[in-house]
Structure 1
Amino acid sequence: LNTMSENTELTKGHFRKGFMWGAATASYQIEGAWNEDGKGQSIWDTFVHTGHIEDGTNGDITCDSYHKYQEDINMLKNLKATHYRFSLSWSRLLPTADSSTPNPAGVDFYNKFIDALLASNIKPCVTIYHWDLPQCLQDIGGWQSDDIVEKFREYSDFCFSQFGDRVKLWITINEPHVQCGFGYGNGIHAPGIKDPLNACYQVSRTMLLAHAHAYRVYDTKYRKTQNGQISITLNSDWCEPKDPTNPEHVKAAQFYIDVTLGWFANPVYGDGDFPASMKKSQGLEKSRLPTLTEEEKKLIKGTYDFFGLNHYTTRLAEPVSEATQDYLMHPDLAVYVHPDSSWERAGLIKNEVPEWLYIVPNGLRKLLNYISKTYGDPSIIITENGCSTKNPVNDPGDTKQLVDEQRCCYITSYLNEALKAHLLDGVDLRGYFLWTLMDNFEWAAGHTERFGLHHVDFSDGNQTRTPRKSAAIYTKIIEENGFSAS
């Protein structure tokens, strides 16, 4: 793999006409106003108020976008963004999770926000669920209960009815495999359940069924009049064999992709069922994965209008050895995945950087090609891609990291690899959303990990936003719709 440090040559050229250029955020990470105007409590409200976060912060205020959404729109306008991906807070709209008794203030907030976006010629891309389940649903089983499927169907129906006249791009669920692994496997995300051999598999089934029902509701009830598109967003690293000449390493890399991307992509974009390799790998008479009935497979299969992809980094894979068995990501994932020691690490500061994020631009091109070939050449929208830095910074002269050269290079190189996939490989790429518009509450990392094109001062009482150099770099690429000869 070529790494950024090898100065992979930039390809000149342009994305398709009408390419979607945007930034992405999520409600709990930016809105704040956690208990204002009738909002109910979410599992993340509960989780952060009982510890768990690296720096002890929470999302009670964070970027305060509930009150400062016009500032967010101004930043998007300055970026020249054509689209904005944000999520709806389920507990702000339906505090008791009952669609017959919505919260008027919550509905009014999103109506005002969507109207203000459109008035600035920015199209909304709306995520219905980005991990902030109403606590009242968690109290009766949450995603581990079959009842959640109908609740999500009703919630989605409500969202389409309220906002679908203006929202033409919908995402049902963000990164279900991350929610399963972190929320129900190792417990580092809300609701903090540590049950990797049962709960995370249970939840994968209910999330797939919930997504499928939401898609079917849109397809049958709203598509004809609202004329939008709807899909799910899946997160995936790219993965390569550590030794490409070793068949066991090749098998390990494919298995890692099967159990991360394929876990949800195979049911939705493939044959309706979980990947066969996942079921076989456990070596049990009966797989720990739930059995999907023929009816359920039929319901799930083909529930997409595009492939929503979140991608950040790349891994190498090899079989597990005695020396590496303590580093397994999941008890059933008998593969050791790791970065190449030569790859550049996001953050630049030794021992102060995000452990997981290594910069390998052409991993994105390879992943786009893999998706295109494996799942029948779907239209692909990159719904998240970005680069983080860690606080505190090494350079006392730039405490806000405003001259974020590494992020500038990351955006340029990853987008150029996406362009190669489109221009040179024929991948049907329709849009790109950068994570993220501004520093926010970054889940278990709190405010320590910063992905923003804009620095946010969480200590000044105004949540002051300041553009970084990367904002100008991104704007230039947007204005050129790619990379011009100049």
Structure 2
Amino acid sequence: MAFFCLVRIFILCSLLSPFTGAQQAYIHSSGHKSELHCTSTSGNYRTESTPSYRFSAFSYTQTETVYTATGLQPSPQPTYGLAYSAVSSLFTNLSTMSYGNWDPNSTATPTDRAYPYGQAAWSAMWKDAALVNFTRGIYSTTASPTPIPSSELVLPPPLYFQPAGCDQFPRDFILGVAGAAAQIEGAIADEGRGPAKLGIPQIDSDFTATESYYLYKRDIDRLAAIGSQYYSFSISWTRILPFALPGTPVNSQGLQHYDDLINYAISKGVQPVVTLIHLDTPAVFLGSGVLNYTLSTRSYFNQNAVGYENTTFEDAFVHYGQIVLAYFADRVPIWITYNEPQNGAINGVAIDHVLKSHARLYHFYHDILHGKGKMSFKNGVAPSVPQDPKDQSHVAATKHINDLYLSSFLNPLALGKDYPAAYKMTMQDYVPLSPQDLDYMRGTIDFLAVDIYAVSAVYALPNISISSCAADNSTANLYYPKCVGTTEVTVNGWNIGYHPDYISYTTPTYLRTQLNWFWNTFRLPLMITETGLSTWGLGISPSATLLDDILWDQARSEFYLSSLTEVLKAIWKDGVDVMGMLMWSFIDNWEWNTFQHQFGLMYNNRTTQERSYKRSFFDVVDFVESRRMTR
């Protein structure tokens, strides 16, 4: 049994039992808690009654200790699965093509019009995409790596207030950074990539992002130089299969690009974490004339469709995933099938496709490729907490919403259990899972992957039952699909945390509770696969008008160090197996339609594509590595 307390105006204590689940109660506090380590017996309190004033010879005693970050050193790479040469016989029907770059102003006429997947057909797809104000970046080929000047690797002055404690990170604790193809690569119509849609309005508002498609070697060099052990990135489906569907050719340039990226990262001591899809669905699943499904009256997650519900999607995604896994399984230690399927899985059919395709790829990886690495999917919803843990209606409402958004996916894949009641009563068009389905899905995640940015406080809606609300998915029901109240204000009237004006209120205070919920509910190791703090971009607000102000980045440092301290508490005080943390993101990137909100550990000059480390990157790496156990 693990015991912990979170202190605000009150102390929230949770008793976590592996058999009964969390039992929550309030213990009220009357003012600030005394610092237990400041006692007369410990020698921290002075014994004299008044200060003793005196003169002394003056000298400047302030010093600046200058030291530099320790870069990574490559080591022999384990083999995580069969090489492609050992399984190539599974793909005898694959053909390959190369397509070049799309030029909307080109007057050349392709000569392969008779071939349905040739250059003419590929160009026609881009013409149909009807991009507005299409532009390219300043790079058109892979940039050579450049040495990181030692002047860029000098650590900033230490933070004055830092977390206390003697807990250490396990030797194998994963520390790394994350990015995603649609948000960093750019070069969207280069080297054979096909059109993709992101399920959000104005998807064509950026075409260059950070140009990491061409600058990946320089980016990886910067990660290695500062000591980031893991790099999580996604592969663009339409770079591998421009036409997306089984039976269409593989783009040799796309395969070669990601092969080079993975090999280069490993050569620098950076381990790749690969996601198969990060919301950039091939356009064929969302374009006119190819959809064959019936939407619910209301979208389950109130998100835009990203194509998971298309009748051809499941088989096509499995086909694509098997190709990527077969080519790279021998070198990649961690695989993610879906990024945040809670975003974009709009109905029961979509969720059925997600679960079954994930399970099929898991079995392919472990059973056919003999994969020795780990595979999961990234949950895009963090556990909520009751606004008032003393109020049983708040506790019940919290259970409902956590079951709805999380257990719906994790019950089948982690436990082989059926959908929770919260899902069945809300999702009237859900696809039932048979005993055979559940047996096949059971245990098809090796760890819990969780993107945690925020927390919501939950309460029961007055005079509205959850069951009656969930049964009414009409547009008149404004409470569907949650059917509970959510707020960012605690029961005592304070904000639950800091609002970055982009997502929701975020605070490390509840991170430990969220980790405990996952661990004690599903009993699998877990990794925080994304977390971060949004700040304003350069010149967006008066407090962010100078580059020096951007690079100082103290708020992000404090967010990450506070979060990591809560992770240490979860590990050592609660016995939670937290494998590691991946920070979003390694660079200020295209945050789905805007550069206004920035999560980066590095600043990016969008005119020159020059990168600069922020102090938060140094602070986090130093915090973890100085506390890492050596045995």
What TM bracket, shorter-length normalisation?
0.7 to 0.9
**3-state SS, counterpart of residue 162 of structure 1:** helix
User: 1:406-434 CA deviation, whole Å, 9 max, x = no partner?
Assistant: 11110000111011111111111112111
1:218 shift after superposition: 0.8
User: 1:333-390 CA deviation, whole Å, 9 max, x = no partner?
Assistant: 111111124334243xxxxx22x332321321111111111112x1111111111113
**3-state SS, counterpart of residue 176 of structure 1:** coil
**3-state SS, counterpart of residue 569 of structure 2:** helix
Higher relative contact order (Cα pairs below 8 Å, separated by 6+ residues): 1
Asked if the contact 1:311–1:384 (Cα under 8 Å) also holds between the matched residues in 2, the reply is yes
**For residues 41 and 216 of structure 1, do their structure 2 counterparts lie closer, same or farther at Cα, with a shift above 3 Å needed?**
same
**3-state SS, counterpart of residue 551 of structure 2:** coil
Q: Which segment drifts farther, 62-71 or 98-107?
A: 98-107
2:167 alignment counterpart: 13
Mapped to 2, the partners of 1:3 and 1:441 lie a distance apart of 36
1:104 alignment counterpart: 252
1:481 shift after superposition: 4.2
- The answer to whether 1:368 aligns with 2:509 is no
User: 1:173-221 CA deviation, whole Å, 9 max, x = no partner?
Assistant: 11111232xxx4xxxxxxxxxxxxxxx3321111111111111111211
1:411 alignment counterpart: 560
Mapped to 2, the partners of 1:344 and 1:153 lie a distance apart of 40
1:190 alignment counterpart: none
Counterparts of 1:370-389 in structure 2, within 5 Å, are 370-376=517-523, 378-389=524-535
2:202 alignment counterpart: 52
1:195 alignment counterpart: none
Alignment TM-score, normalising by the size of structure 2: 0.66
1:328 shift after superposition: 8.9
**For residues 9 and 342 of structure 1, do their structure 2 counterparts lie closer, same or farther at Cα, with a shift above 3 Å needed?**
farther
How many residues align structurally?
Answer: 441
User: 1:201-251 CA deviation, whole Å, 9 max, x = no partner?
Assistant: 32111111111111111121112xx42221111123232222222111111
2:384 alignment counterpart: 239
Paired amino acid for 1:218: Y
2:374 alignment counterpart: 229
- The answer to whether 1:164 aligns with 2:317 is no
2:90 alignment counterpart: none
Asked if the contact 2:401–2:422 (Cα under 8 Å) also holds between the matched residues in 1, the reply is no
2:365 alignment counterpart: 218
2:495 alignment counterpart: 342
1:480 alignment counterpart: 626
Asked if the contact 1:241–1:316 (Cα under 8 Å) also holds between the matched residues in 2, the reply is yes
Q: Which segment drifts farther, 128-137 or 28-37?
A: 128-137
Asked if the contact 1:3–1:361 (Cα under 8 Å) also holds between the matched residues in 2, the reply is no
Name the one with the larger helix percent: 1
1:94 shift after superposition: 0.8
Mapped to 2, the partners of 1:396 and 1:427 lie a distance apart of 38
**3-state SS, counterpart of residue 156 of structure 1:** helix
**3-state SS, counterpart of residue 92 of structure 1:** helix
Paired amino acid for 2:614: R
- The answer to whether 1:73 aligns with 2:223 is no
* Aligned mate of 2:342, from 177, 187, 190: 177
**For residues 371 and 123 of structure 1, do their structure 2 counterparts lie closer, same or farther at Cα, with a shift above 3 Å needed?**
same
**3-state SS, counterpart of residue 14 of structure 1:** coil
1:454 shift after superposition: 0.7
**For residues 330 and 385 of structure 1, do their structure 2 counterparts lie closer, same or farther at Cα, with a shift above 3 Å needed?**
farther
Asked if the contact 2:383–2:517 (Cα under 8 Å) also holds between the matched residues in 1, the reply is no
Asked if the contact 1:314–1:360 (Cα under 8 Å) also holds between the matched residues in 2, the reply is yes
**For residues 136 and 397 of structure 1, do their structure 2 counterparts lie closer, same or farther at Cα, with a shift above 3 Å needed?**
closer
* Aligned mate of 2:408, from 263, 266, 286: 263
Asked if the contact 2:454–2:507 (Cα under 8 Å) also holds between the matched residues in 1, the reply is yes
**For residues 255 and 424 of structure 1, do their structure 2 counterparts lie closer, same or farther at Cα, with a shift above 3 Å needed?**
same
Mapped to 2, the partners of 1:157 and 1:466 lie a distance apart of 37
**3-state SS, counterpart of residue 359 of structure 1:** coil
Q: CA RMSD in A?
A: 2.7
Mapped to 1, the partners of 2:333 and 2:245 lie a distance apart of 25
Mapped to 1, the partners of 2:518 and 2:349 lie a distance apart of 26
Asked if the contact 1:364–1:414 (Cα under 8 Å) also holds between the matched residues in 2, the reply is yes
**3-state SS, counterpart of residue 342 of structure 2:** helix
- The answer to whether 1:298 aligns with 2:439 is yes
Mapped to 2, the partners of 1:289 and 1:330 lie a distance apart of 19
2:310 alignment counterpart: 145
User: 1:4-47 CA deviation, whole Å, 9 max, x = no partner?
Assistant: 9x999643221111211100111111000000011101113xx6
2:122 alignment counterpart: none
Mapped to 2, the partners of 1:98 and 1:73 lie a distance apart of 32
**3-state SS, counterpart of residue 96 of structure 1:** coil
- Larger Rg computed on CA atoms: 2
Paired amino acid for 1:27: A
1:3 shift after superposition: 6.6
1:287 shift after superposition: 3.2
2:581 alignment counterpart: 432
Q: Which segment drifts farther, 415-424 or 356-365?
A: 356-365
1:120 shift after superposition: 0.3
**For residues 454 and 9 of structure 1, do their structure 2 counterparts lie closer, same or farther at Cα, with a shift above 3 Å needed?**
closer
* Aligned mate of 1:277, from 417, 422, 425: 422
**3-state SS, counterpart of residue 381 of structure 1:** strand
Asked if the contact 2:244–2:284 (Cα under 8 Å) also holds between the matched residues in 1, the reply is yes
User: 1:280-332 CA deviation, whole Å, 9 max, x = no partner?
Assistant: 4x4xxx93322223322222221011111111111111122489x99999612
Paired amino acid for 2:401: Y
1:26 alignment counterpart: 180
Paired amino acid for 1:177: Q
Identity in percent: 27
Paired amino acid for 1:245: K
- The answer to whether 1:41 aligns with 2:200 is no
- The answer to whether 1:208 aligns with 2:355 is yes
Structure 1 portions without partners, runs of 5+: 185-199, 348-352
